[in-house]
């Protein structure tokens, strides 16, 4: 079904996220016929950065040309462009925005739904929400909120209170774009639509789980944002913990928002608070010399940690999480290590050959994604020699991915449809900050690592007797 008619208001319309993801994403939705029958998009920013309608259209055209999947041309672009307008908004001067939204609503006709997308820095967040409340624009409207949602439990609670003063939770869509990735949503299909995997998905059969999102890129000039944030807040509290929720959750009653999010939050409630002794914080050599970085900075650009989920399914199964900048490769991988069976029936040299070979399930959720079962197999030849075998499901070669949506496209569409299933909920977010508190209060010192490696050496000890899995590319 198509979303009902909409006026989408994009705060932070001149910012980086809007340029890279949101404007190109909205255009793609329009091209794919997924936007509402009738819609308008109103860009907004503080008066100092204000554009006029023509300026905003040119800005959007450039963004789509640079980052979009198809060029801004032809009838689809003309139609999309004609739906764009601009209204500046400052806390004490909201009039241009109110007028622009009014005009857009009139152009759509009837009583379209309002959707506010807050792609603004955290400091600006509360004032925008207040403005939406005081002008009455928030009435019946929905709001998409970007990460980071707070920096600790106290600030997350404050933000939730500020949002809830204006929007009740059923109208709040907190984005964690990892939940919009096709291959992440496939974790639900893999687990719950098959008889093959779910029976293994517990402490009886799985000895450890790894959630690994190394990045090759460095901070790419984002010192201002990164210095005060660090990898733990930027990647773990948001993306990796959310993924952990999908990997570890009990089967929801149904694939709808309340059931799904209830199960996710139950996982978060079962998580033991992060023990700083089970965390390695790293910083790549050269970080302190980057422009805008404090020469004595203690901000981590890498983090590896062990998380324990104390429930009936996972007790005793460590979850190893890792993410960092300037690492050897960029990957998005979940690995479930299977318990070692009794290999006694195999001859000694076959057992030795099995050493270091993997018996594991690997979910690669880099677009378009793959799932690989790696196991031991008999090598051809007269002797019983064990070697590495694998079975691979590859999205790209199993399906046509023409209809695939990028994470942001998928999530903006879901928000227009009013479906909160892939958005984080206030209690879940608060719980994750609560779980993170011991680490935030006493972080271990950062350890240096050379760019292009997998992080500080001490990460090996963190996961012993297991090891870090580095799956082959397919």
* CA-wise closest residue to 200 among 16, 373, 433: 373
Using the minimum distance from each CB to ligand BG6, give the nearer residue, 7 or 304: 304
Question: Residue 228 or 341: which CB sits closer to ligand BG6?
Answer: 228
Question: Smallest gap, in angstroms, from Cβ of residue 177 to ligand BG6?
Answer: 6
Nearer to ligand BG6, 56 or 226 (CB): 226
What are the structure tokens assigned to 115, written together? Answer: 């959707």
- Could you tell me how many residues of this chain bind ligand BG6 (CB under 6 A)? 3
CA gyration radius, the chain: 24
Query: Do the bridges between strand 39-44 and strand 84-86 make them parallel or antiparallel, or are there none, so unpaired?
Result: parallel
> Sign of the C-alpha dihedral, residues 281, 284, 288, 290?
negative
Q: Report if residue 300 touches ligand BG6, rule: CB under 6 A.
A: no
Cβ atoms of 361 and 186 within 8 Å: the answer is no
* Length of the chain counted residue by residue: 474
Q: Does 234 bind ligand BG6 (CB under 6 A)?
A: yes
CB of 440 to ligand BG6, least distance (A): 18
59 is catalytic: no
Q: Which residues in 339-436 belong to E strands, given as ranges?
A: 360-364, 370-379, 385-394
Q: To which residue do tokens 């999947």 refer?
A: 69
- As annotated, the binding site for NADP(+) includes 12-19, 48, 147
SS3 264: helix
Residue 202: Cβ-neighbour burial (10 angstroms; 0-12, 13-18, 19+): middle
Rounded to the nearest whole angstrom, what is the least distance from the CB of residue 254 to ligand BG6 in the complex?
28
C-beta separation of 36 from 416 below 8 A: yes
Site string for ligand BG6, 314-333 (x = CB under 6 A): ------------------x-
Annotated binding site: 12-19, 48, 147, 177, 181, 215, 234, 325
Distance CA 374, CA 372 (A): 6
Minimum CB separation of residue 178 from ligand BG6 in Å reads: 7
Is there a contact between 81 and 68 (Cβ–Cβ < 8 Å)? no
> Whole-angstrom Cα distance, residue 418 to residue 438?
36
Residue 174 or 332: the one with the smaller Cβ distance to ligand BG6 is: 332
364 is a contact residue toward ligand BG6 (CB under 6 A): no
Q: Which is nearer to ligand BG6, 105 or 234 (CB)?
A: 234
CB of 331 to ligand BG6, least distance (A): 9
Say if strands 6-11 and 39-44 run parallel, antiparallel, or are unpaired. parallel
In the bound complex, what is the minimum distance in angstroms from residue 190's beta carbon to ligand BG6? 20
Give the H or E element holding residue 142.
strand 142-145
What's the token pair of residue 153? 């439990």
> Cα(first)–Cα(last) distance of the chain, in Å?
36
Q: Which is nearer to ligand BG6, 40 or 332 (CB)?
A: 332
User: Catalytic: which of 6, 208, 239, 469?
Assistant: 239
Tell me the per-residue interface mask from 199 to 228 with ligand BG6, x by CB under 6 A, - otherwise.
Answer: ----------------x-------------
Give how far the C-alpha of residue 174 lies from the chain's centroid of Cα atoms, to the nearest Å: 11
State the catalytic residues: 239
Residues that bind ligand BG6 (CB under 6 A): 215, 234, 332
């Amino acid at each position: 079904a198509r979303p009902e008619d909409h006026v989408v208001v994009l705060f932070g319309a001149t910012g980086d996220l809007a340029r890279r993801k949101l404007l190109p994403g909205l255009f793609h939705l329009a091209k794919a016929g997924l936007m509402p029958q009738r819609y308008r998009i109103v860009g907004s920013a503080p008066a100092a950065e204000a554009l006029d309608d023509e300026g905003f259209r040119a800005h959007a055209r450039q963004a789509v040309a640079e980052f979009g999947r198809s060029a801004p041309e032809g009838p689809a672009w003309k139609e999309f462009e004609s739906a764009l307008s601009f209204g500046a908004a400052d806390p004490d001067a909201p009039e241009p925005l109110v007028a622009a939204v009014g005009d857009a609503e009139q152009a759509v006709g009837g009583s379209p739904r309002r959707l506010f997308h807050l792609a603004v820095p955290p400091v600006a967040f509360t004032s925008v929400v207040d403005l939406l409340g005081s002008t009455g624009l928030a009435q019946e409207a929905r709001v998409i909120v970007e990460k980071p949602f707070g920096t600790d439990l106290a600030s997350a609670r404050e933000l939730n209170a500020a949002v809830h003063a204006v929007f009740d939770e059923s109208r709040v869509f907190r984005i964690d774009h990892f939940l919009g990735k096709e291959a992440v949503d496939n974790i639900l299909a893999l687990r719950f639509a098959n008889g093959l995997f779910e029976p293994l998905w517990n402490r009886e059969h799985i000895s450890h789980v790894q959630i690994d999102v190394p990045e090759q890129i460095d901070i790419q000039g984002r010192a201002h944002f990164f210095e005060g944030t660090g990898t733990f807040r930027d990647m773990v509290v948001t993306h990796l913990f959310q993924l952990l929720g999908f990997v570890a959750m009990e089967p929801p009653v149904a694939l709808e928002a309340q059931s799904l999010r209830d199960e996710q939050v139950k996982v978060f409630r079962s998580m033991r608070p992060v023990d700083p002794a089970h965390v390695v914080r790293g910083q790549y050599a050269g970080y302190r010399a980057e422009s805008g970085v404090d020469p004595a900075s203690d901000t981590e650009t890498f983090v590896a940690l062990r998380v324990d989920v104390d429930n009936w399914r996972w007790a005793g199964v460590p979850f190893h999480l890792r993410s960092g900048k300037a690492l050897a490769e960029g990957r998005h991988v979940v690995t479930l290590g299977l318990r070692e069976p009794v290999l006694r029936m195999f001859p000694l040299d076959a057992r030795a050959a099995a050493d270091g070979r993997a018996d594991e399930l690997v979910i690669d959720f880099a677009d378009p994604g793959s799932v690989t079962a790696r196991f031991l197999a008999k090598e051809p030849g007269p002797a019983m020699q064990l070697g590495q075998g694998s079975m691979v499901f590859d999205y790209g070669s199993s399906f046509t991915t023409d209809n695939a949506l990028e994470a942001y496209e998928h999530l903006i569409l879901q928000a227009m449809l009013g479906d909160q299933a892939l958005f984080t909920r206030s209690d879940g977010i608060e719980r994750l900050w609560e779980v993170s508190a011991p680490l935030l209060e006493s972080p271990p010192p950062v350890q240096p690592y050379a760019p292009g490696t997998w992080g500080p050496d001490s990460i090996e000890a963190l996961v012993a007797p297991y090891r870090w899995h580095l799956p082959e590319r397919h």
